[in-house]
Structure 1
Amino acid sequence: MSKSRAWPIAALALAPMLLAAPAAHAAYPDKPVTIVIGYAAGGGNDVLARIMAEEMSKGLKQPVIVENRAGVASIIGAAYVAKAKPDGYTLFWGASGPISFNPGLYSKLPYSVDDFKPISLTAVFPLVLIANAELPAKNVAELVDYSKAHPDRANYGSSAASFQLVTELFKAKTGASFAHIPYKGSNESAQSVMAGNVSMAIVDPTPAMSALQSNRVRALGVTSAARTELLPDVPTLKESGIDLDVELWAGLLAPAGTPDDIVQRLQAEVARVTALPTVKKKFAAIGNTARSSTSKEFHDLIQREVPFWTKVARDNDIKAN
């Protein structure tokens, strides 16, 4: 056989091997995908994660399992995923707290933001400023004036360092004088406003809505740039003349080193799911807006937020440990 005829035969022999490699990689996922959440079952992030997981399993054609690894400020769950194999089968349900706030609040963490590869946002939500209805304050300006006139009586409740950071930023922007009273959960903070034990609190929408039903609190503002559909009559803080625009978020992250094509596949799936009307409705029912992003957009958001909130923590001497 001549050399000129041997080359095509060799090429034919290699062809199946060349085709097999990308086909094997394109098979992702070929087993269940686990989304680790650093919070207990039943909370807002847990509810959102399970809504996402149910729909993602349909598009990925594999079970998507939510695994709760609850611990202080979501640190246990974050550290677990940071050390997981970067193959797309173990993901982290990240949130503003563990990713954007914790680096400025803890002197030592068992993970860093560089241990993750952002996939996509999944949801955003504003916080709601609520005040006790018996206070002589019908709007934010009057609440600020009240705090300055009664610094011995004005105080606020917060259930986590992230809420404390946002409230301290509010104080810095307005010159308000509120003493900090810590609580174990947002519901407890809201109930304390209802009872008159604290003057005000900046909380997530769900406990705010529950408190508002009692008619013992007033919603004076939301922290987002635009009004929320959940409370369309409540002005933004910017509408009240305060230069403060804060939205907390949830999103999916993979361990650093996860291949780009797997991240892109997951990002596309998140975009599909968050665009579903049923998902939008379920998210809105608990005060969240379903929203996706590109991996780069998510990465850039984190890179902006970490130094910003670290500075707020340092300026106000807020530490979580």
Structure 2
Amino acid sequence: MRNPPLIARRQVLALAAAALPLATWAQGGGFPSKPIRIVVPFGAGSSPDVIVRLMGEPLSKALGQPVVIDNRAGASTIIGAQNVATSPGDGHTLLYTVNNTTSINPYVYKSLPYKSDDFVPVARVLSVPYVLLTASQSPHKTLADLIAAAKNSPGALSYGSYGIGQGTHVAMARLLNMAGANMLHVPYKDSAIPDLMAERIATTFEPSTTAIGQVKSGKLRALAISGPKRIEALPDVPTVGETFAGFVGDSWHGLLAPKGTPADVVGKINAAVQSIVASAAFQARLRELGLVPAGGSPEEFRRFLKEDAQGWAKVVRDNDIRAE
């Protein structure tokens, strides 16, 4: 059979090219068709808010639509999570959140206005190590000192957190369980740092983003890092795991989408986020804040969320942590 005439070939190619956008649209390639709203369940200036705003401009360029940050703070991420869970699953509304939403809240609260499976994992962006802090004048120079004092006087020492069932609370509960020690929990609506400086409490876990400056200024002393490795910003501070092998108690940031969001749309967002997370400028900024880049596919994030929830659920049950 002879090859078709050149003009016929061109017509075929032109028709194929014309049909391609329609096929791509049907596969989610038409996404995004309007601005993308990213709900952050924390206030302006918080660690998640700062990071997602760093991502906003490059994400907008990658996806070809404006990215709007919508801060909906309160109730241990519940307000923002509910807003996204009830939004259309078309990729134009996303949730940038932390471990409380899916790994802790479902086990701490008797009733929630959302379920973990109301969300589709999109991308894990980073890990957030906590820094175990004491006052600069505290007699506890090391984690071992603090635990020894807690064991010598059970319940006499106190620790602060951002509230019952918050990440800093359950991380400290996990540490005390592993150490076989007991301390009094003092929940705060905001940071416990002022009372720590005044030695009204003995210690607290604080996210690296806000802890590093306090440590470097000499206002507070860092005893340990909750993650599996030391952080570049505080290289002389050991991990908790160096004293209690196997301990990991850090949090994470990640993007979730409403249930029903098409897999190809999720994949497109994931690819854009992966590119941002892999960039030298973004990683350098994370290191300054003591944060650890993560990345990975939606399926890897899904597996991570399952393991993360199982681990924190055990801590919640073992310590009977409940919130209303």
In structure 2, give the amino acid aligned to 1:21. L
Which residue in the other structure is 1:55 paired with? 58
C-alpha deviation, 1:242, in angstroms: 3.9
Which residue in the other structure is 1:9 paired with? none
- Is 1:43 paired with 2:46? yes
TM-score (norm 2): 0.89
C-alpha deviation, 1:43, in angstroms: 0.9
* Aligned-partner SS, 1:265: helix
Measure, in 1, the Cα distance between the counterparts of 2:300 and 2:79.
Answer: 26
Unaligned runs of 5+ in 1: 1-11
Measure, in 2, the Cα distance between the counterparts of 1:128 and 1:214.
Answer: 15
Deviates more, 1:303-312 or 1:267-276: 303-312
Which one of 73, 87, 96 corresponds to residue 76 of structure 2? 73
* Aligned-partner SS, 1:72: coil
Deviates more, 1:135-144 or 1:254-263: 135-144
Deviates more, 1:276-285 or 1:30-39: 276-285
The equivalences for 1:166-205 within 5 A come to: 166-185=171-190, 188-205=191-208
Which residue in the other structure is 2:232 paired with? 229
Which residue in the other structure is 2:311 paired with? 308
Deviations 1:251-303 (A, max 9, x none): 11111111111111111000001111221222233322232111011101111
Which residue in the other structure is 2:132 paired with? 129
C-alpha deviation, 1:20, in angstroms: 5.4
TM-score (norm 1): 0.90
Cα 1:20–1:181, aligned 2, differ >3 Å: closer, same or farther? closer
Contact (CA 8 Å) 1:70, 1:76: kept in 2 or not? yes
Which one of 100, 111, 114 corresponds to residue 111 of structure 1? 114
Aligned-residue Cα RMSD (Å) equals 1.9
* Aligned-partner SS, 2:310: helix
Deviations 1:3-45 (A, max 9, x none): xxxxxxxxx9x97996553133322212211111111111111
Cα 1:207–1:192, aligned 2, differ >3 Å: closer, same or farther? farther
Deviates more, 1:47-56 or 1:209-218: 209-218
Which one of 148, 156, 159 corresponds to residue 156 of structure 1? 159
Which residue in the other structure is 2:294 paired with? 291
Measure, in 1, the Cα distance between the counterparts of 2:235 and 2:306.
Answer: 31
Unaligned runs of 5+ in 2: 1-11
Contact (CA 8 Å) 1:274, 1:292: kept in 2 or not? yes
Q: How many residues align?
A: 307
Which residue in the other structure is 1:21 paired with? 22
Contact (CA 8 Å) 1:32, 1:64: kept in 2 or not? yes
* Aligned-partner SS, 2:243: coil
Which residue in the other structure is 2:97 paired with? 94
Measure, in 2, the Cα distance between the counterparts of 1:28 and 1:308.
Answer: 36
Cα 1:20–1:280, aligned 2, differ >3 Å: closer, same or farther? closer
